Amino acid sequence: MKKYEDLVNYIIRNVGGKENITDVTHCVTRLRFKLKDESRANDEALKANDGVITVMRSAGQYQVVIGNHVPDVYAELTEKLDLKNKSAAEPAKKMSFKEKALDLISGIFFPSLSILCACGMIKGINTICSFAGLYGAESDFYNLVNAIGDSFFYFFPIVIGFNTAKKLNMNPYLGLVIGAALCYPTIQDVDLHILGMNVNVNYTTTVLPVIITCFIAAPIERFLNRVIPDVIKSFAVPTVVLLISVILGFVFIGPVVNAVSAVISQSLLSLYGMSPVLAGIVFAALWQIFVIFGIHITFIVLCIINLSEGNPDPLLASQVFVAFATSAVVLAIFFRTKNKSLKSTCIPAFISGIFGITEPALYGITISRPLMFAVSCIGAGLSGALCGFFGFKYYQMAGLGLFELPALLPAEGTGAVLTKAIMVMIITFVFSFVLAFLLYKEDKTAEETETKTVTAGQSGIASPVKGTVIPLSEVSDDAFASGALGKGCAVRPSEGKVYAPFDGTVLVMFPTGHAVGLVDDNGCEVLIHIGINTVSLEGKYFTKHVNIGDHVKKGQLLVEFDNEAIKKEGYSTDTIVLVSNTKDYASVTCTDASETDAGSLLITAAA
């Protein structure tokens, strides 16, 4: 069996099946789905799988965060899907202008971003080896290795042309040739007299000219495919498209776009120059928030534009050490917590964070602990201030975490910059670790969950709602019905009020109010999920009365919901009640009664 086959099958099933997927791509840590109907995706089921860190809905995409092995999962996923044969007549999902813009940026830049980073790493490693005296900067070996790293950037228009053409649904090889023509060596930086104009430009290492030229070429290709006879279409269409688009791009579009690109680049650098320290603080402190909302990709693109213009980028350099602040906070939590489950989560999250993959730490640990998330942002802000103070700049794209350090290394003065970078890394890590270690407070119940074993007896779980009791197997959701998320039962509510099933603490309160998780004083963890797929209502018809961390008494009102209005929207209001840590109990049994009142015994969990 293939390594990720079970995970891939699980993901496909819980994003609504193959027929619900119109496209899928991936970035460094996430599968990025385009779904016909996002309401068919089961967020909770996906999050419950150990192979999934979290799910997000952003930029018109349904994003399943996997971690740094996402390319392997993606490779297996594409074998299961046959997207190329999906009907072109399928209606496209409506997206806002912002979603379309971010989707376009992702489609153009993300497919080649990992190779771009690899080439940057090669340039950085070459610089370090030369500085260490392994070989000279004038040696032929240095030049060869440097050529490997430089090649991607030098011929970047070819790669970007290919990606842009694919995104615009035109022949991708047309985009490739447009990029190749724009950076053809013998017409760079020379006077060309064309159509009565003198043109002297250089398109190697550029980004925007080839993108705009492809935008011109795409409608031309679509028009010609409609009017040119099929017998000559295969060669006539690309001939005309290339002649028109490349001439327009080289002579008219390119010079204007290059000028605009230079203005954007210089404006950003000037803004940073007003106060490098302040800019570094703000940018680095907010970087994790940018990641959460998926808008960090815009800054990556701006950095690529700067680098393509020959301008080292200071903004992206400010976030290099954010991963170390987050990792330090996770390590501090590891040493302070007594919760064995949390400890086991901290180890892989810390290791991933050191190598720049912060999603496991962010979504699995810090974001649900606001104080610790704030500490990681403060530590990140300190790192940004130091980056601004030392004048760090991004000289080439590189890897993540430790492997991002080569991005900061200039061709000259490598040793001084490397020394300062290591110093900033250590300061950031130590500061964030100490602050998190001092401020971390274990939730009292979380401690008791580990110290009080269930051998003390059994936990009685009262019904949180009034209504008809139904077996879990009859719930219209496979993830719940299978018992994969825990044992329990469901109640078909007759009124829209959810009460605490025992004395305990609120561990989870979804922003939409459709689900709440609690733990009692003996460590019994219960999930109450109101309705099926009701997360799609985005909080409509739900009113929350408690927050994460609140200690509640049995019978205390947790959530109110409009039972009839939700059903009129087409959603089931069957309320699932699960013992989410079922594995800690010898048995989990439900009442034999067909009807229940809120407060009546519903489930018994026995050690």
Q: For 251-313, give the DSSP string.
A: IIIHHHHHHHHHHHHHHHHHHHHH-HHHHHHHHHHHHHHHHHHTTHHHHHHHHHHHHHTT--B
Q: Which residue has the higher pLDDT, 261 or 469?
A: 469
Q: Output the six-digit token pair for 221.
A: 């290709």
- The CA–CA distances, whole Å, from 90 to 93, 95, 470, 505, 595 equal 9, 15, 38, 47, 45
> What percent helix, strand, coil does the chain show, rounded to 5?
55, 15, 30
Does 434 lie in the same domain as 348?
yes
The angle, 0 to 180 degrees and rounded to 10, between the axes of the packed helices 254-274 and 208-227 is 150
Q: Which residue has the higher pLDDT, 108 or 171?
A: 171
pLDDT digits (tens, 9 = 90+) for 394-416: 988 877 788 888 889 887 888 89
Residue 429 is assigned to a structural domain of this protein: yes
> Predicted confidence band at 95 (pLDDT cuts at 50, 70, 90)?
low
End-of-domain residue from the set 45, 67, 84: 84
Does 418 lie in the same domain as 281?
yes
Average the pLDDT over each of 34-48, 56-70, 177-191 and give the range with the smallest value: 56-70
**Active-site choice (377, 387, 524, 529):** 529
**Active-site choice (26, 27, 489, 514):** 27
Residue 504 belongs to domain with CATH number: 2.70.70.10
End-of-domain residue from the set 427, 442, 457: 442
pTM: 0.51
Query: Which phi-psi region, left, alpha or beta, contains residue 482 (left: φ > 0; alpha: ψ -120 to 50)?
Result: alpha
Residue 192 is assigned to a structural domain of this protein: yes
Does 295 lie in the same domain as 265?
no
Q: Which helix (H) or strand (E) holds 226?
A: helix 208-227
Q: Is 129 a catalytic residue?
A: no
Residue 230 is assigned to a structural domain of this protein: yes
- Top mean-pLDDT range of 26-40, 220-234, 427-441: 427-441
Does 495 lie in the same domain as 355?
no
Residue 325 is assigned to a structural domain of this protein: yes
pLDDT digits (tens, 9 = 90+) for 206-232: 788 899 999 999 999 999 999 998 889
Residue with tokens 């050191």: 354
Q: Which residue has the higher pLDDT, 393 or 153?
A: 393
**CB within 8 A of 39, min separation 6: which ones?**
533, 536
Does 494 lie in the same domain as 430?
no
CA distance 309 to 305: 6
Residue 219 is assigned to a structural domain of this protein: yes
* DSSP characters over 149-211: HHHHHHTHHHHHHHHHHHHTTS-HHHHHHHHHHHT-GGGSSS-EEETTEEE----TT-SHHHH
Does 324 lie in the same domain as 435?
yes
Does 490 lie in the same domain as 418?
no
Give the structural domain span for 288. 275-442
Residue 42 belongs to domain with CATH number: 3.30.1360.60
Does 312 lie in the same domain as 385?
yes
Residue 132 is assigned to a structural domain of this protein: no
Does 554 lie in the same domain as 427?
no
Does 311 lie in the same domain as 205?
no
Q: Is 27 a catalytic residue?
A: yes
Residue 304 is assigned to a structural domain of this protein: yes
Residue 469 is assigned to a structural domain of this protein: yes
Mean pLDDT value of segment 356-371 = 77
Mean pLDDT value of segment 28-35 = 81
Does 482 lie in the same domain as 353?
no
Number of structural domains the chain divides into: 4
End-of-domain residue from the set 378, 411, 442: 442
Q: Quick check: 449 pLDDT over 60?
A: no
Does 306 lie in the same domain as 255?
no
Q: Quick check: 468 pLDDT over 90?
A: yes
Dihedral sign for Cα atoms in the order 337, 53, 350, 301: negative
